[in-house]
Structure 1
């Protein structure tokens, strides 16, 4: 098949959607399919060594500099007919998603879309004067979904949310975003204890990976970590990622008097992120906006158990039997710290979770299985033309 994927985000941007699209592309091309990407240009001097990636002019999002807004006008669009595309797959409802719809109608192709992000949870990035009401955003999402031929929801929880917005259940297919398990088999090159001497040999590492934004709730995790330190002193909290809240979080760590036990690594390439997962004792996560919970799955793929807030995609993962993690139902510092301390103190609990985590991801969330499901959906849609 010749597959056209449209997205307003792609590598080297560091987020779950960009990573997912890269994994899809690699796995599909491994099977002999051609995957053509239509994405914003990242930087003027950034060169991509892939003739199947078509870039469109883009400007930085005014209120979040790492994000781009593509301008869906480029000479590249005239090459579309030459590609003999069989299907269109878009990954957001913005400029490239709109272009995907136009192209699908122009070329009379089926248009599949993945609803990766709950946009109504990210409205705080917009100034009040231009911030829409959540209900308005939900109506926009509903209307976008209805203009596609099929919507992929990464979890059943997200499917149910879209149904609440008014999208018919039969219009939605649940397909999780898979994990490239082979990338977790490589030896560790980034030694955290060598890089950061404040991590002592007998320290155990609590890890967070993700964007440093309000919706990730890292301030809550810092307060939880302070409670953990009151009982277990030989622990460090490593925070991998960059974002607008970095300075505020560093200040909070100082105010809580735990700064010497907290390490902010900044954003890191994927190879180093995987090394961090593999060296952590426990992954802790309190985001309330995760549609997929990819970092949860990646941590478990590395054999690192998880303690996390059970909302949206994280709930769909950790509510399953033998998932290899502990789910906290609500944001409660005492409950969170209690479960972390339980895993730190009880080696049998830790070993059981560790074993379950690796098996669970392998059996349910490999990129191979997830791509099987996407390709099957493509075939069904193409046949139904």
Structure 2
């Protein structure tokens, strides 16, 4: 098959969507398919086969998010060079609009992967309005309703939807999406299961702590880091054991989070490392004891599975993207949004070697269910069913 993928962000931008697209594209290529990724231009991008860059606007959104120029004529010129069998959009707007128009014009089936809960990201799109009126819940609700209605409308114009988790699928159905929905999560690459004892020990020695925790995430408001930092302050005051926490990632909130950690007296415990190349992340995962997570805005939370591939038990806040992956007592624990409840499993896991080892095994076994190879095969089967007309609509 010849597959055209459209995305509003891609490498070198750090995020779950670029990771998901790259892994799926590579997995499908290994299965003999042609996959072309249509992605925006970045200053530090690298030339890649099968990746076509269209122009980006000069202005960026908060968090240095690039805005693609959907009117770039080169997009159509490049698209017309191949007779594509499938168009796969990873966003409902901007490049999603291009994907939808090409689907109609050239009569090509359109698939949309619901990667992002866009209502959780309104502060990037309308920062000045929402920041000035941050206590006005009506403005937020209206903005959320507009985004939700638009996403539903776009989804119902597609031929098939991929949802990363059953929870997201159910949410879409409840919101009025009647296009067929299949659950297809992001897969893990072979590199996620690598073990390099020398590099792991090097990182462990660098931080020199008997209890080393980590989190990998973009530093945005929706990731709920203030909760994590305040909870870790409570852990420091209550727990008698020393610990260190490394936070990998960058974003608009880095400066304010750094100031908050100092204000909370966590200068010796919290380390903000910024962005780290994805191929090197596995060594940091392997060097740590636990993966801590506080976001409630995820669709899948691929970093949870990456951590589990390194046998890291997860302690997270219950929410979208977490509930379908983290199983209490099996591969980690998820709690309510409560500082005391959240730090309790950290103490329990690190104080009980049997529980710790049981969770490590469970985490690894969970990760093995999400290999990129198996996800690519499942995606291929759905593509074929769509082309053959076997996907049926459930008309409301």
TM-score calculated relative to the size of structure 2? 0.90
Q: Which residue of 1 aligns with 2:196?
A: 187
Q: Which residue of 2 aligns with 1:114?
A: 113
Q: Which residue of 1 aligns with 2:61?
A: 63
1:316 is paired with a residue of what secondary structure? coil
Distance 1:323 1:374 in 2: 28
Distance 1:310 1:255 in 2: 27
Shift of 1:189: 6.4
Q: Structure 1: any 5+ residue segments left out of the alignment?
A: none
Q: Which residue of 2 aligns with 1:173?
A: 182
Instruction: After superposing the two structures, state which structure 1 stretch, 331-340 or 228-237, moved more.
Output: 228-237
CA contact (8 A) 1:61 1:67 kept: no
Change (3 A) 1:264 1:296: same
CA contact (8 A) 1:6 1:39 kept: yes
User: Matched residue pairs, number?
Assistant: 377
Distance 1:80 1:268 in 2: 33
- What's the RMSD between the two structures over aligned residues? 2.0
1:324 correspondence with 2:331: yes
Q: Which residue of 2 aligns with 1:213?
A: 220
CA contact (8 A) 2:246 2:273 kept: yes
Q: Which residue of 2 aligns with 1:379?
A: 384
1:26 is paired with a residue of what secondary structure? helix
1:137-176 equivalence runs, <5 A: 137-168=147-178, 171-176=180-185
1:41 correspondence with 2:5: no
Distance 1:46 1:155 in 2: 31
CA contact (8 A) 2:296 2:321 kept: no
Change (3 A) 1:188 1:124: farther
Shift of 1:127: 2.8
Distance 1:14 1:60 in 2: 19
Distance 2:256 2:121 in 1: 18
1:103 is paired with a residue of what secondary structure? helix
1:313 correspondence with 2:321: yes
Change (3 A) 1:182 1:270: closer
Q: Paired residue for 2:348, among 342, 346, 349? A: 342
The CA deviation string for residues 248-290 of structure 1, in whole angstroms up to 9 with x for no partner, is 1111111111111111101110022211111110001010100
CA contact (8 A) 2:200 2:286 kept: no
Distance 1:341 1:380 in 2: 49
Shift of 1:68: 1.4
Distance 1:65 1:284 in 2: 22
Distance 1:24 1:266 in 2: 26
Distance 2:203 2:34 in 1: 42
The CA deviation string for residues 147-205 of structure 1, in whole angstroms up to 9 with x for no partner, is 1111111111111111122112x6211111111144422425655855984x22x4221
CA contact (8 A) 1:122 1:215 kept: yes
1:1-385 equivalence runs, <5 A: 1-43=1-43, 46-50=45-49, 52-59=50-57, 62-72=60-70, 73-125=72-124, 126-127=126-127, 129=129, 133-168=143-178, 171-187=180-196, 190=199, 197=206, 199-200=207-208, 202-230=209-237, 231-319=239-327, 323-328=330-335, 330-362=336-368, 364-384=369-389
CA contact (8 A) 1:60 1:67 kept: no
Distance 2:357 2:364 in 1: 11
1:68 is paired with a residue of what secondary structure? coil
CA contact (8 A) 2:333 2:345 kept: yes
Change (3 A) 1:383 1:194: closer
1:271 is paired with a residue of what secondary structure? helix
The CA deviation string for residues 330-368 of structure 1, in whole angstroms up to 9 with x for no partner, is 111001111111111111110000011101221x21112
Distance 2:56 2:197 in 1: 36
Q: Structure 2: any 5+ residue segments left out of the alignment?
A: 131-138, 391-396
Change (3 A) 1:60 1:300: farther
Shift of 1:80: 2.1
Distance 1:247 1:181 in 2: 34
Shift of 1:75: 2.4
Shift of 1:233: 3.3
1:238 is paired with a residue of what secondary structure? strand
Shift of 1:229: 2.0
1:121 is paired with a residue of what secondary structure? helix
